[in-house]
Amino acid sequence: MSNMLPASRPQMSKEDLLAQIELTHPEFFKSLPDLFVVGIRGYYEDSMGEKGKNDRAIYDDAIFIVGKNCYHPFNGNTDPSAFKKEMANLKPGVWPVYKIDLHRGQYLALCQRAGNVTVIRDQKGPDTGMFGINIHKGGVWKTSSLGCQTIPAEQWEEFIKKFFDEAKLLHGKAYRDKVYTYVLLDN
């Protein structure tokens, strides 16, 4: 799997990430939530896959849990696993539509349940709606994405535990009822 996963986790500091959010989404930055997730598409585009290109089917992106009292970097995938007619690719932006729920009825993940997102479909273009663009566990030998944001299998348990622990600290027993924001940035 060495060609699918970077040698290390993302090294971006919280200050640098927040500065990038402020530059890209100043309105969101003015009222940052206490807990949110950020993805950076193409974070490793010059050191993995084809140079200068954001590739599919490898973990060449970065995903961060960001909170008042926490900051955790993870490797990730923000692209679908393949090019296929009408395959969904989440459009960069601020998406306050995620709830803790079962991904495909199997395990708890961050699921698009509280509103629409816009995707760019291969060979079709923009499309807005409820598509189940979840943040979930990826595979060991593939990124396992039809448009979802995925965390490598060996990092998934740590990701979801850290997110749940912080959500419980902030919201108590109501943490599963809250809506969380995902911000997707282009590198």
Q: What is the pLDDT of residues 82-114, one digit of tens each?
A: 888 999 999 999 999 999 999 999 999 999 999
Total domains, the chain: 1
How much is the average pLDDT of 163-186? Answer: 97
Phi, psi at residue 103, to the nearest 5°?
Answer: -80, 115
Share of residues in the chain with pLDDT > 90 (%) = 83
Residue 178 has pLDDT above 50, yes or no: yes
Give the tens place of pLDDT for each residue, 32-75: 999 999 999 999 988 888 787 778 889 999 999 999 889 999 99
Q: Please tell me the predicted confidence (pLDDT) of residue 2.
A: 53
Range of the domain at 176: 14-186
Is 56 within a domain?
A: yes
Residue 78 has pLDDT above 90, yes or no: yes
Is 1 within a domain?
A: no
Structure tokens at 39: 């993805």
Is 3 within a domain?
A: no
Task: Spell 1-34 as b/e; 16+ CB within 10 A means b.
Answer: eeebbbeebbebeeeebeebbeeebeebbeebbb
Is 2 within a domain?
A: no
| pTM of the complete model | 0.96
Phi, psi at residue 152, to the nearest 5°?
Answer: -55, 145
Is 4 within a domain?
A: no
Is 79 within a domain?
A: yes
Is 38 within a domain?
A: yes
Is 60 within a domain?
A: yes
- A 10 A CB-CB count for 110 gives 23
Q: Strand (E) positions, the chain?
A: 35-41, 61-67, 70-76, 88-90, 93-103, 107-112, 117-121, 125-129, 135-137, 149-151, 180-186
Q: Please tell me the predicted confidence (pLDDT) of residue 1.
A: 47
Mean pLDDT of the chain: 94
